[in-house]
Amino acid sequence: MMTTYFYTAFTQKQQRGARKPHGVPAFIGLLGWLRALRHARGRRRQYQYLEELPDYLLDDIGLTRGDIARARRRDFWS
């Protein structure tokens, strides 16, 4: 009887302590969205900078305007 009591109390305590949260806390989800937004804005600035470069500079780094447009579309969907 005594063993059963200790076993039951121990397993119930473990179950309460081992409970996993049902979802991500709101502030962590918000921080993830803000990080993703900041990252997207940075990529957008980089694409704008590349699009403003003259053709001879793009040729120097081995890019075409089509490459930039393709990368921008691919980056949007990924």
Q: Are 38 and 46 in contact (CB under 8 A)?
A: no
Helix (H/G/I), strand (E/B), else coil: 64: coil
Q: What is the pLDDT of residues 23-77, one digit of tens each?
A: 656 667 788 888 888 988 999 999 999 999 999 999 999 999 999 999 888 876 5
**Where do we find the tokens 């990924």?**
78
Q: Between these two residues, 63 and 20, which has the higher pLDDT value?
A: 63
Distances (CA, A) of 13 to 2, 20, 21, 28, 29: 17, 14, 16, 28, 29
pTM here?
Answer: 0.56
Domain boundaries of the chain, sorted by first residue: 25-78
